[in-house]
Amino acid sequence: MKRGSVRRARFAVGGLALVGLGAFIASCAGADSTEEEPSPSVDAPAGDDAGSDTRTVADGGVDAEVDACEAEGGGCTEPEWVPVEMGHPSGLGLASIWGSGPNDVWMVGAKGSVIHWDGATWTSTPIATNYSLQSVHGSGPNDVWVVSTASLIYRSTGFSSGTATFVPQTPLFESAQFPNTVGALLAVWAPGAGDAWIGGRHRLSRGGQIENSWRTSPGDGGVAWAPVGAFGGTHVINGIWGTGPNDAWMVGAKGTTLLSFASHTSGVSATDGGMPTWTEVDTASFAVLHAIHGTGSKDVWAVGNAGTIRHFAGGATWDIVGSPTSQNLRGVWAAGSDDVWAVGENGTILHYDGTAWTPSTAAMPVADQRDLYAVWGSGPADVWAVGDGIVLHYSGPKPGPNGDAK
């Protein structure tokens, strides 16, 4: 699979509206207002406003005329990923993306940014907060969760009649009762309707143990939260994923030196008082892991700092996988065992074809390689990546210089 480096591109708008490369505005790296430690992925400049905007386009496809010459041989190739314009301020970073299908896609980020794609229209449905929204996930189109901090957790019944409403949920704690809590929530995973698992930098000392992840449980008048993981006071949960509540993973960092962390549960034990039993699985890496996804219990991928890529195939440890980059990888999504995408800092996009990981091309100027933080798709030919003021779309293999699909 040959992938050329994109040097210049010109776009003819058709289908999704495409951003002209010369019109890109660098996103600000300043800190936004937050009650807890902010995520670097969604820092926003003061004064920017996500606003409310609806933009309609013809369809979900991309029609891009590209003049991109490879460094070798003088051949030309189209970039596999193209930027998409949806009317969102470029200064507001996007941290997370998830959807229930090709016509129901959610993106969240800085200063309460929430953007929805219904297959024809981009609609901004921001949450009224200046805090960064860190993660979005759901069990289906009518059960969507967004997390920011321990006191900013939201749930929506989905997109309907051109809009969506995110209702604040019960906070994890009452500040007067538990004053010594720290950190933002960085991950949410919803394996079933009303069943949300959350974690991040936040931790809570209660009942002789330090909690750092939680799961919804029935409560008086609404959702309550029960601890689902008590890994230790220095652990950070960056990613949660599994095939279901009895096959779940959490990845992130542990220790004062931020060592790699990955732990698995097979569900609740009858003797542990409702808390799942977790087994830490050796990652064979010191690098912090940022994201996890897979296609089944024996096909799980995790990515992290310094280009770290790990694969779990059901053994006692994670397998070390060769990586073509040393950039920090922030997101991973698997369409199949031979079709996996990873994204990261400085515009890094990698693809796994069942044999090896290779760089993918994107229509971004060399001098403005935006950091990418998350990737998700509805299928092999409909994949999205989001990051610092940019959204990229992949619609399938593109012709190479000789007309062959890459």
pLDDT tens for residues 155-164?
Answer: 999 999 999 9
Residue 60 has pLDDT above 80, yes or no: no
Residue 365 has a pLDDT of 78
Residues 378 and 104 sit within 8 Å (Cβ to Cβ): no
Burial 172-201 (b: 16+ CB within 10 A, else e): bbeeeeeeebebbbbbbbbbeeebbbbbbb
Backbone φ and ψ for 22, nearest 5 degrees, come out as -70, -15
Q: How far apart are CA 332 and CA 301, in angstroms?
A: 7
**Stretch among 269-273, 298-302, 374-378 having the lowest mean pLDDT:** 269-273
Backbone φ and ψ for 85, nearest 5 degrees, come out as -100, 125
Domain boundaries, the chain: 21-394
- DSSP tag of 268: E
Q: How far apart are CA 287 and CA 260, in angstroms?
A: 5
Residues 82 and 64 sit within 8 Å (Cβ to Cβ): yes
**Stretch among 25-29, 368-372, 397-401 having the lowest mean pLDDT:** 25-29
* Beta-bridge mates of residue 154: 146, 168
**Stretch among 117-126, 176-185, 205-214, 323-332 having the lowest mean pLDDT:** 176-185
The 10s digit of each residue's pLDDT in 67-83 is: 334 333 445 568 999 99
Residues 190 and 245 sit within 8 Å (Cβ to Cβ): no
Residue 405 has a pLDDT of 60
389: which 2 tokens? 């003021």
129: which 2 tokens? 């907060």
Residue 396 has a pLDDT of 93
Residue 390 has pLDDT above 80, yes or no: yes
> In this predicted model, which residue has the larger pLDDT, 400 or 102?
102
> What's the mean pLDDT when you consider all of the chain?
80
Residue 122 has pLDDT above 90, yes or no: yes
Residue 293 has a pLDDT of 98
Residue 212 has a pLDDT of 86
The residue written with tokens 């059960």 in the block is: 143
Residue 112 has a pLDDT of 97
* Beta-bridge mates of residue 71: none
Residue 87 has pLDDT above 60, yes or no: yes
Task: Look up the CATH number of domain 21-394.
Answer: 2.130.10.10
The most confident of the ranges 179-188, 264-273, 320-329 is 320-329
**Stretch among 232-241, 310-319, 334-343, 392-401 having the lowest mean pLDDT:** 392-401
**Stretch among 331-335, 374-378, 402-406 having the lowest mean pLDDT:** 402-406
Residue 193 has pLDDT above 80, yes or no: yes
The 10s digit of each residue's pLDDT in 241-296 is: 999 999 999 999 987 667 899 999 998 755 555 788 899 999 999 999 999 999 99
Residue 367 has pLDDT above 50, yes or no: yes
